[in-house]
Structure 1
């Protein structure tokens, strides 16, 4: 796949943009804690983490339901431009001391309008360039990109940047990453051919023809929903239980990324395994990760636990998307993939909104245990939904 210049260029841009985003995993909580004022820490972190999903969910749902038609190339370019402008402005405000918590939340709210649509567009552009035969491999490479950049290089660099230069520099670097992805998109993705307007089908109507895929979307929603309190708990867990600072948080996210990188590298070897049982097994194994974190009080042990969590979780997204896309016609890809991305990702702001009060009530370790325990309770539901009787239309993807 990497011999194709279009695919390789787009994947490189995706990698560099994700490094900038990964730096924010460390920088954003640190920036938030310096601004929270009278707002409880966990609530402030939850609000900042949830803000980017609100307007982006509205737009992505409109695309997924067939009410808005915009070419994926245009959506991705718009996301890059708006993201670079927003984070540059936030960085300037942070450097000058004018950044406040409400301004940060508002900037993330409006600056991420194209976030979900842009994310699904990256996948659509890369997999369409690779063709049907290369779809599984490209989904695996996208997963490899995400895990390496978002959870290894990004957090480690973010920890170093925050510790040496402050969180504001990470905002500028994320803006630069968005510009690099914009350049890759414009250079590697040709302008779409003009076609006569015709009614766009609803992504949900198309998805309903494959009941297992529709039920899997519901399962993934709750899987992501129950994960999100971990993102609120982690900065407090690192500073409280582990007695470490920004570098410790960066190392912890980096450990998740190292494990996820190994897991993502194995995705192509998993293509011969039954996909549905594999997805259910990943849910059960991941549930043990936050529980394990809550049981250790040492940074080294926590790094090992989070690395193992990344190892088992990494194949989930590429396998799930390959399962989904394999039964879709080219004209159905954008609506369904965007709807799927939105449905799975909309769990994030809801989980974060719950995570703030939950962590404030139970503490960081209590929240980690609760997240893992509830995910374990999801396991039999997931098994029934995904491994139940398979309609004829889903046999090809079982």
Structure 2
């Protein structure tokens, strides 16, 4: 990545915008608390969090005919421009005294409409300029940057909120995307990319979900990804309650869980590039099985150090799965259709985690935090085992053919 002339120009802007998103994790919810009426704070915090992510899934599904044939630099650049403008409007409206909760949520939603396409543009760009054997290493670099910024971003956001308020952090987030937009507009022009093979107009405008549905391998990978992130969703609800009520722990222990996962993710991201010589399909399935097994002890009455080590081990496996799945999509999709397919894959991930989180609420209320964590771990483990059986069956059928 560092040696490649085009990608070397991308990395600073990508890292800065990832840091802005890491800071926004804290600022978006905190600003919603500040703006919302006291009686309705919970509703507005949930609405703000959803508005910052979910419209990206809708944009991926409904804007395919408009954006599917655009170059990856246009997709990523337009997403960065929209995010910079919409997020930048929030502190401006706040300074003018015109910001209320409704306008805040609308601007957050507007900022995320093109985000699935922006992510697809970045990974399509990587697939276009790197040889196939380097796709996994390139994906791992981007994943490692994202994991690092997820850990560091909230640590930077907290003192900024104390010093200048949540609006200051959102303004900084907008500025990071302005830098990313300038990167794509001025330093990585579309004409610098290698030309695509000729495709028919109808093919280039096909829906990403349509393309995936026609390919059983890609459809299986999409289902695996949906299930993996869906079953992880309840962890966001169950872990805090399990720590506070069943482990009798403090906020410091909960923070230790998230820190251990983040440290594990950094290690996993740095190790991912070395998996390029492994067979990608069996490795991806094995990671899902190992992730479920690593999560399983957390839901039981085990010593804190064992639970923390288990969560850290799950963190090590998190970036390799994302990078390997993206690499499989990159290698299995015609270049002209890659933006649509990656946008569809991104939209599925955006939808699956909130759906799983929503399921976590009634599960925790009915069975408790520990049981919900066990449910999530067993669900992921069984999903991986079913995928492994399907993979073995496909391999056997291919040998017979």
TM-score norm. by structure 1 comes to 0.81
Q: Which runs of structure 2 are paired with 1:340-379 in the superposition (5 Å)? A: 340-355=345-360, 358=363, 367-379=372-384
Q: 1:123 and 2:130 equivalent?
A: no
Please state whether the residue corresponding to 2:394 is helix, strand or coil.
coil
Higher relative contact order, structure no. (Cα contacts within 8 Å, ≥ 6 residues apart): 1
1:257-299 CA-partner distances (Å, limit 9, x unpaired)? 2211111111122122222222222223333565555558999
Q: Residue deviations 1:8-37, cap 9 Å, x none? A: 121221111111111223333444455473
Say if 1:20 and 1:174, in contact at 8 Å, map to a contact too.
Answer: yes
- Give the distance between the partners of 1:366 and 1:123, measured in 2 at CA: 37
The aligned residue for residue 38 of structure 2 is 37
Counterpart in the other structure of 2:82? 82
Q: Deviations over 1:83-111 (max 9, x none)?
A: 12222333455678875544443222222
Matches within 5 A, 1:66-215: 68-92=68-92, 100-150=100-150, 152-162=151-161, 165-192=164-191, 198-199=201-202, 200=204, 201-208=206-213, 210-215=215-220
Cα distance, 1:343 vs structure 2: 2.8
Task: Check 1:381–1:11 CA distance in 2 against 1; reply closer, same or farther (3 A cut).
Answer: same
The Cα shift of 1:176 comes to 1.8
Distance 2:70 2:293 in 1: 41
Q: How far does residue 388 in structure 1 lie from its aligned partner after superposition?
A: 3.1
Residues 275 and 22 from structure 1, CA distance in 2 versus in 1: closer, same or farther, beyond 3 angstroms?
Answer: same
The whole-number CA distance in structure 2 between the counterparts of 1:75 and 1:203 is 15
Q: Unmatched 5+ residue regions in structure 1?
A: none
Deviations 1:138-183 (A, max 9, x none): 1121222221223x22233234444665433322221122112112
Counterpart position of 2:393: 388
Q: 1:159 to 1:281 in 2, by over 3 A?
A: farther
Q: CA deviation at 1:348?
A: 3.2
1:66 and 1:202 in contact (8 A); partners too: no
**Distance in 1 (alpha carbons) for counterparts of 2:210 and 2:143:** 27
Q: 2:21, 2:173 within 8 Å by CA — same for their partners in 1?
A: yes
Quote the residue 2:269 is aligned against: 264
Unaligned runs of 5+ in 2: none
| Deviation string, structure 1 residues 41-87 (Cα, Å, up to 9, x no partner) | 4x655433322344322321245578853332222222112212222
Structure 1 CA distance for aligned equivalents of residues 229 and 336 of structure 2: 28
CA distance 1:15–1:227, change in 2 (3 Å): same
Aligned 8 A contact 2:120 2:346 in 1: yes
Q: Deviations over 1:338-397 (max 9, x none)?
A: 222223333134334444555566665554444334333433333334443149899xxx
Instruction: Compute the displacement of 1:311 (Å).
Output: 0.6
Equivalent position SS for 2:2 = coil
User: Which residue does the alignment assign to 2:250?
Assistant: 243
TM-score for both structures, normalised by structure 2: 0.81
Instruction: Tell me the C-alpha RMSD between the 2 structures.
Output: 3.7
Distance in 1, matches of 2:200 and 2:356, equals 38
